[in-house]
Chains A and B, each alone.
Chain A
Amino acid sequence: MTFDRDPFSFIDGFQHWLKVFGSFAGGIFAITVLLALGVFGAAGPVAVINRVFAGLNDFLNLSPRRIWAIALLTIKEAVRRKALLVFVVFAFLMMFAGWFLESNLRADLQVKNAVSFALTTVSWLTIPVLLLLSCWGIPEDIRLRSMHTVVTKPVRRNEIVMGRILGFSTVAALIVVIMGVVGYVWIRRQVSGADLICRVPVYGTLKFLDREGNPTDKGVNTGDIWEFRSYVEGGTKSAALYDFPVGQIRDRIKIESRFEAFRTHKGRMGESLQVRYVLVNPTKQLRVPLKSFEVAEFALNEHLLENEVKYFDEGKQETRTVNLLTDLVDDNRLRIEVQCLDSGQYLGMARPDMFLRLPDRSFLVGYFKAVLGVWLLTVFVVSVGVMASTFVKGPVAALLTFTILIVGQAFREFMIKLVTGEQKGGGPLESWYRLITHKNDSTELEKATSTAIMQGIDEVMLSVLGVVQYLIPDLSSFMMSPYVANGFDVPWSVALARSLAMTVGYVIPCVLIGYYSLTLRELESK
């Protein structure tokens, strides 16, 4: 995963949600009206519109007590169907995990392993259990006809869907909180000698200067296919320009960085690359070079900038003192230029490789934010599961939900590459054809009618996939354990707000689809 995510904006997110939701809802409405017109004549569209208004009425007359009744029933059902046996599995794993985790590692790596293990275990145990429960609840009620005794009471179908989602989400909350607490105690005992830290980073923007000192968006590419990091050429005017928002910092500033070194020659034996930070105020034309330091590959570099910064002015050949916040901070931003001093060597960096470090938070807070992430993902899974279970049977609903979960977590990027044509080799049919005929993905296919037909069908399938990719979210933002495992706080704007908004954004259409699905179908077990 990457920590380099753009901050989430609720307004932009909401606008995007409205566009996607509005397009799909409008499209479904239009298709339904046209179908109704074709099948039932003029009465059809009227019936559809009446149904929409009846739905609106049902949502305006929701009863919290009935929703809670269904939620309570769901909780009791989960408990009595022995869902909580998951704790036994968890306890078993926690008892013996210590035997298999390497204990001769560096302290921070031990913490990383222990935190990753605990949080992964919580999510891997909670999500499958809740996925199965949520996908089986309503279909079982319909099969056993228990649903008959519910819908013949003054219960609206949306109350059933909402009650189910609320109930399963409460069960999930209970499971993740208990497991989270046990996991926390286990981590404390497991890494008793190491510090559990929760750093709060402030990331800036990153631009570069080329070897002539001209601004550029990217640095040098040293031949790496992965373009995440750009390189600064040593011994030239090339530099990386980090601009940090200083925000609420009113005191000294702590800087942390880890850089990659790319050597074109061995350099001086036993010495690492020499790197220098220069604090720049572009408005005042003030440049404050700090003392150079050695950089080992991805080793931690820590600097503390006091309020008064002393430096040697090379032009005037004298030592001067400037105030960090009044002289160097320009428009509430601090610019740090990173230079590599060794000629012929390259220093690699990406935006998150350097940050300002605010005072640390409690590890407990960061840890439980990650636990909250697991819960939010479970709520997402539960909502999709309950929604799917209103129109298909349990196994199919489980398969559908599982597919969305897996694609959203691991294959979304691949799906987008397929849709945008970035992925070579064509669509499904063309890929099969290439596999069978042993043609690699960059070989031109012969021009023939059969090829055109095959590519035409692929085009249609990829267009469908293009629509589907809007429906499947990027679920990787729910996975917050890497932040905590690497000693970082879980950022609100980047991870939590995004996950929270995504969960709410999916719960709403899930409830709507579930409601209409239950309302428009006969609740007979057929």
Chain B
Amino acid sequence: MEQQPVIQIKNLTKIYRDFWGRKKVRALNSLSLEVHKGEVFGLLGPNGSGKTTTMKLLLGLLFPTEGEINILGKTASDVSKNERIGYLPEESYLYRFLNAEETLDFYGRLFDMSPQQRKERANQLIEMVGLQNARKRQLKEYSKGMTRRIGLAQALINDPDLILLDEPTSGLDPLGSRDMKDLIVKLRDQGKTIVMCSHLLADVQDVCDRIAILYAGELKELGRVEDLLKEQQQTELLTSKLSPEAVADVEQVLAKHNAKLLRHGHPTNSLEDLFLKTVQKSQERPGQRYVPAGSEKS
């Protein structure tokens, strides 16, 4: 089945100029890519690679020096495209003097939503991002994680088809980060298209279907995550626990097929999994704590 492109970028170049119009930085060089409907697309790259510039060009916050952008069938400068877009900026640049309810009410008004719609949607989103207890507090009193949550809520106020997330997990604790990733997957499952850029490669690997890796403004890799990460020259087997003799036998069998056992041992869980398990247990059995071996019990 042919995949429907939501974003089409052709030969996109962005050159930042100084006050006199002289070229300062070539932030993006002839970038071409497509993002398909219903996928989570990750933009990766080190600092200054052009991820955020790409996102701002998509949103019309910056103007391209060369190239074309087609987003939801419209040009980037067409304001009406924003009806179907949600955007979470890198920092949550919201109005710090508003509280959570006022923030969502304000952004709801910008979508011409009725008072009833705004109220319902605000309640739903505040609950979804877990800010029920802080809904009346001004954003200037929020922690960074809380600010990210309300930022995400404002990005979803219009129930968008395309969601652009700039560093969505930055500033979140592992629990918040997990929630964010779960939410991204859930939104993808609802048929929404998500474009995210992040430094946190583990997060990208967890949720993205396809990724593009940028370096110095140029596209270096583009494809499905699993295809790009797959080591074609090696095979991985996962078995139940083996005795040393069994490992030796396996090595002999491999030798027969001109292969070598490169590494064996016990697989490890990720630190994130351990942390989440510990927090979950603590929530289920409050009061219990870790006591190092050898110390006296009080």
Q: Which residues of A contact B (CB under 8 A)?
A: 58, 63, 65-66, 68-69, 72-73, 76-77, 80-81, 144-156, 522-524
Are A145 and B112 touching (Cβ within 8 A)?
Answer: no
A154–B61 CB distance below 8 A: no
Nearest B residue to A521, CB-CB: B63
* CB-nearest residue of chain B to A526: B16
Complex A-B: 30 CB contacts under 8 Å:
A66-B109, A66-B110, A68-B109, A69-B106, A72-B109, A76-B98, A77-B95, A81-B97, A144-B93, A145-B89, A145-B91, A146-B94, A147-B93, A148-B61, A148-B87, A149-B89, A149-B93, A152-B59, A152-B60, A152-B61, A152-B85, A152-B87, A154-B80, A154-B110, A155-B79, A155-B110, A156-B79, A522-B61, A522-B62, A524-B62
Interface residues, chain B, with chain A CB atoms under 8 Å away: 56, 59-63, 79-80, 82-83, 85, 87, 89, 91, 93-95, 97-98, 102, 106-107, 109-112, 138, 154, 158
Contacts A65-B112, A76-B97 given: A149-B83 contact, CB under 8 Å? Answer: no
State the CA gap A65–B115 with chains docked (Å). Answer: 11
Can you name the residue of chain A whose Cβ is closest to the Cβ of B61? Answer: A523
Evaluate whether A77 and B97 lie within 8 angstroms (CB atoms) in the complex, with A152-B59, A155-B110, A524-B62 already known. Answer: yes
5 closest cross-chain pairs (CB), A and B: A69-B109, A145-B93, A80-B97, A153-B110, A152-B87
Closest-CB distance, A153 to chain B (whole angstroms) = 4
Known: A69-B106, A522-B61. A148 touches B89 (CB 8 A): yes
- From B59, B83, B111, B154, name the one whose CB has the most chain A CB atoms within 10 angstroms: B111
CB neighbours (8 Å) of B83 from chain A are 154
Identify B111's interface contact among A81, A148, A154, CB under 8 A: A154
Interface Cβ pair total, 8 Å cutoff: 76
Contact B93 A146 (CB under 8 A): yes
- The residue of chain A having its C-beta at the shortest distance from the C-beta of B53 within the complex is A524
Residues of A within 8 A of B80 (CB): 154
Q: Inside 8 A of A150's CB, which chain B residues have their CB?
A: 110
Chain A hits for B91, CB < 8 A: 145
Shortest Cβ distance from residue B277 to the other chain A in the assembled complex, whole angstroms: 36
Give the complex CA separation of A66 and B82 in angstroms: 14
Q: What is the chain B residue whose CB lies nearest that of A153? A: B110
Q: Contact at B97–A149, with CB atoms within 8 Å?
A: no
Chain B neighbourhood of A66, CB < 8 A: 109-110, 112
Closest residue of chain B to A68 (Cβ to Cβ) is B109
- Nearest residue (CB) in B for A79 is B97
The smallest C-beta distance from A200 to any residue of chain B, in angstroms, reads 45
> What residues of chain A lie closer than 8 Å to B138, measured between beta carbons?
80
Question: Contacts A73-B106, A152-B59, A152-B82 given; 13 further ones with Cβ under 8 A?
Answer: A65-B109, A77-B95, A80-B138, A145-B91, A149-B94, A149-B107, A153-B82, A153-B107, A153-B111, A154-B80, A154-B83, A522-B61, A524-B62
Q: Is the CB of A63 within 8 A of B112?
A: yes
A63 to B110, CA, bound (A): 9
What are the residues of chain A within 8 A of B109 when measuring CB–CB? 65-66, 68-69, 72
Give the interface SS of chain A, mostly helix, strand, loop or mixed.
Answer: helix
What separation, in Å, do the CA atoms of A65 and B110 have in the docked complex?
7
Is A72 within 8 A of B94, CB to CB? no
Closest A residue, CB atoms, query B164: A152
Chain A residues, Cβ within 8 Å of B56: 524
| Assembly CA distance A76 to B87 (angstroms) | 24
Q: How far is the CB of B75 from chain A (nearest CB, A)?
A: 11
Docked Cα-Cα span, A361 to B87, in Å, equals: 58
Q: Which residues of A contact B63 (CB under 8 A)?
A: 522
Let me know if A149 and B154 touch, CB within 8 A.
yes
Q: Which chain A residues border B79 with CB–CB below 8 Å? A: 58, 154-156
- A66 nearest in chain B by CB position: B110
Is B89 within 8 A of A524, CB to CB? no
Tell me how far the C-beta of B145 lies from the nearest C-beta in chain A, rounded to whole angstroms.
Answer: 18
Instruction: Look across to chain B and name the residue whose beta carbon is closest to the beta carbon of A144.
Output: B93
Cβ contact within 8 Å between B60 and A151: yes
Set of chain B residues within 8 Å of A72, measured between Cβ atoms:
106, 109
- Alpha-carbon distance between A152 and B138 when the two chains are bound, in angstroms: 22
Q: Which residues of A sit under 8 angstroms from B110, Cβ to Cβ?
A: 66, 69, 150, 153-155
CA distance A463 to B29 in the complex (A): 46
Closest to A63 in B: B112
Partner of A149, one of B62, B87, B112, B158: B87
Report how far A441 CA is from B199 CA in the complex, Å.
70
- Give the Cβ gap from A524 to chain B, nearest Cβ, in Å: 6
Residue from A69, A80, A148, A154 within 8 A of B93 (CB atoms): A148
Cα distance A417–B127 in the bound complex, in angstroms: 67
The closest CB in chain B to the CB of A77 belongs to B97
Closest to B109 in A: A69
* Chain B, Cβ-Cβ closest to A58: B79
Once the chains are docked, how many angstroms separate the CA of A398 from the CA of B204?
Answer: 46
For B102, give its contact among A58, A76, A154, A156 (CB under 8 Å): A76
Using Cβ atoms and an 8 Å threshold, which residues of chain B touch A154?
79-80, 82-83, 110-112
Residues of B within 8 A of A156 (CB): 79
Counting chain B CB atoms within 10 Å of each CB, the highest count among A58, A65, A147, A149 belongs to A149
Q: Chain B residues with Cβ under 8 A from A65's Cβ? A: 109, 112
Q: Are A73 and B95 in contact (CB under 8 A)?
A: yes
Q: Which residue of A lies closest to B57 (CB)?
A: A522
Which residue of A66, A72, A73 has the most chain B CB atoms within 10 A of its CB atom? A73
Contact among A58, A144, A151 for B61, CB-based, below 8 A: A151
CB distance from B157 to the nearest CB of A (A): 9
CA of A148 to CA of B138, assembled, Å? 20
Contacts of A524 in B (CB 8 A): 56, 61-62
CA distance A68 to B110 in the complex (A): 9
How close is A73's CB to chain B, nearest CB, in angstroms? 6
How far, in whole Å, are A155 and B112 apart by their CA atoms in the complex?
A: 10
Once the chains are docked, how many angstroms separate the CA of A69 from the CA of B111? 10
Q: Which residues of B contact A146 (CB under 8 A)?
A: 93-95
CA distance A155 to B78 in the complex (A): 11
Question: Could you say which residues of chain A place their CB within 8 Å of the CB of B87?
Answer: 148-149, 152
Give A73 to B97 CA distance when docked, in angstroms.
Answer: 10
| Contact partners of A68 in chain B: CB under 8 A | 109
- What's the nearest-Cβ distance from chain B to residue A278, in Å? 69
Q: How far is the CB of A505 from chain B (nearest CB, A)?
A: 28
A73 partner residues in chain B, CB cutoff 8 A: 95, 98, 106
CA–CA, A524 to B91, complex, Å? 14
A144, B93: Cα distance in complex, Å:
6
Least CB distance from B228 to A in Å reads 30
A60 smallest CB distance to B (angstroms): 13
Q: Which residues of A contact B85 (CB under 8 A)?
A: 152
How distant is A169 from chain B, measured CB to nearest CB, in Å?
Answer: 19
Contact partners of B106 in chain A: CB under 8 A: 69, 72-73
